[in-house]
Amino acid sequence: MSTLVLDNGAYFAKIGYSHEKVSVIPNCQFRSKTSRLKTFTANQLDEIKDPSGLFYILPFQKGYLVNWDVQRKVWDHLFGKEMFKVDFADTNIVITEPYFNFSSIQESMNEILFEDYQFQSVLRVNAGSLSAHRYFHENNSELCCIVVDSGFSSTHIVPYCRGRKMKEGICRINVGGKLLTNHLKEIISYRQLHVMDETYVINQVKEDVCYVSQDFYKDMEISQLKGEDNTVVTEYVLPDFSSIKKGFCKPREEMNFTGKYKTGEQVLRLTNERFAVPEMLFHPSDIGIQEMGIPEALVHSINNMPEEMQPHFYKNIVLTGGSALFPGYRDRVYKEVRALAPVEYEVSVVLPLNPVCYPWEGGKLLAENPDFEELVVTREDYEENGHYVCEEKFDV
């Protein structure tokens, strides 16, 4: 009886058997202008020779699974012969779903997993619960923790106490990796080069070049300087997929400050975009979204909790999700929360080594837990009782 752990994210699916390593695979289908007949699924992305103007077909919308056609095709590919070769009758699956998932989606997922794929048993959890489980596994003495999951569609802030999530404290900020990439595309298209079609390339630019600044206004002033004093500006060489396969930053020595470029290369000159784009996680109002940023929402969420628990939450803040990979993210969150939190409480912010796979590792630990058998719903259970037993058992 093996257990498959699948962290079903809106952008990446983190999947692997609990006794093996995790693979991070795009959870969508791609279509390319150049190869007109084929639709590429998940990790077939590597087969595409020309990823310019790549068209994404994502099964998720606003963080919720709405398009089952695409999701089933991706799952067929992942569970099939080329990838994990799942033997359904003999496998348990641990699968993640979003917070406050709609009941129609939950029922569809039950149907598809039990009746279509026919897994032996299923456990549906929130991704944050797996992160919390992993955190408590490492720090046995702590009672509460608060998980900040900054993902593709949105950022969720979820407090956990003794392993159960506290629904009153869940806070959702509608800013995620997708918004940051789209915003970066818009400003580059307006100021320099039309890249509105190039989601894949600009996502790469965002990951390579953007960082979170510790002192926003000071960085703004530095980026306005001319010549050598300007330490913020970088030049990014765009890939053209024939000679340059992947974009890269030009090293400082080669940078031409007078502004004349060598022919043949397409270069982007990025100054304040480097730190203004991740700043949207901390101040969504910069772009017009009237919501709190991450530090404010953290404090707001903790204030909704009972007073005795609040110092425990401040001591155990865990950052997960893809957007946690920006350099300087953890220090900035610590600085802002420390400024907003009461002075007598101790504040501690933890950024794990691999924020993207942290929930998956929690799932792996959960699968090896002796209590695992009691948490899952088996296929016989489901066939006898229907959706009701899943609703009762899974705390979503």
Partner 1 sequence: MAEKKTTGNRASIRSQDPNQRRVLDSMTRHRRLTRQLEALEKDNFQDDPHASLPQLVKRLPQFDESNESGKRRKKTRGDHFKQRFRKNFQALLEEEDLSVSEGPNYLIACAEPSKFPQRHFCAVCGFPSNYTCVSCGARYCCVRCLGTHHETRCLKWTV
- In order of 26, 89, 134, 318, the CA distances from 361 in angstroms are 18, 24, 7, 14
Instruction: Report residue 264: phi and psi, to 5°.
Output: 95, -20
Among 99, 160, 329, 334, indicate the residue that binds partner 1 (CB under 8 A): 99
In terms of CB distance, is 39 or 139 closer to partner 1? 39
d(CA 145, CA 165): 10
Assess 235 for contact with partner 1 (CB under 8 A). Answer: no
Does 242 engage in binding with partner 1 (CB under 8 A)? no
**Type of residue numbered 31:** R
Binding mask 280-299 for partner 1 (x = CB under 8 A): ---xxxxxxxxxxx--xx--
Q: Is the dihedral of CA 364, 367, 369, 372 positive or negative?
A: positive
Q: How far is the CB of 242 from partner 1 (least distance, A)?
A: 20
**Contact call for residue 39 and partner 1 (CB under 8 A):** yes
3-state secondary structure of 151: coil
The residue within the footprint of partner 1, chosen from 23, 44, 68, 88 (CB under 8 A), is: 68
Measured between its terminal Cα atoms, the distance across the chain in Å is 25
Nearer to partner 1, 167 or 387 (CB): 167
Please report whether residue 170 would count as binding partner 1 according to CB under 8 A.
yes
67 binds partner 1 (CB under 8 A): yes
By CB under 8 A, residue 317 contacts partner 1: no
Residue 63 CB, nearest distance to partner 1 (Å)?
Answer: 9
Percent of the chain that is helix, strand, coil (3-state, to 5): 40, 20, 40
Cα atoms in the Cβ-side hemisphere of radius 13 Å centred on 141 = 1
Number of other CB atoms surrounding residue 220 within 10 Å: 15
Give yes or no for a contact between 169 and 312, defined as CB atoms under 8 angstroms apart.
Answer: no
Closest CA to 381 of 100, 122, 91, 16: 122
Smallest separation (angstroms) from partner 1 to the CB of 283: 7
Tokens representing 272?
């304040």
Coil, strand, or helix at residue 98? Answer: coil
CB of 364 to partner 1, least distance (A): 28
- Complex with partner 1: residue 108 or 139, whichever CB lies closer: 108
Binding mask 361-390 for partner 1 (x = CB under 8 A): ------------------------------
What character string, x for contact with partner 1 (CB under 8 A) and - otherwise, covers 173-192? xx---xx--xx-xxx--xx-
The three-point CA angle 25-325-126 to 5° equals 60
82 DSSP 8-state letter: T
CB of 284 to partner 1, least distance (A): 8
Q: Interface residues with partner 1 (CB under 8 A)?
A: 31-33, 36-37, 39, 53, 55-58, 61-62, 64, 66-69, 72, 99-100, 102-105, 108, 167-168, 170-174, 178-179, 182-183, 185-187, 190-191, 196-197, 199, 217, 220, 223-224, 271-273, 276, 283-293, 296-297, 300
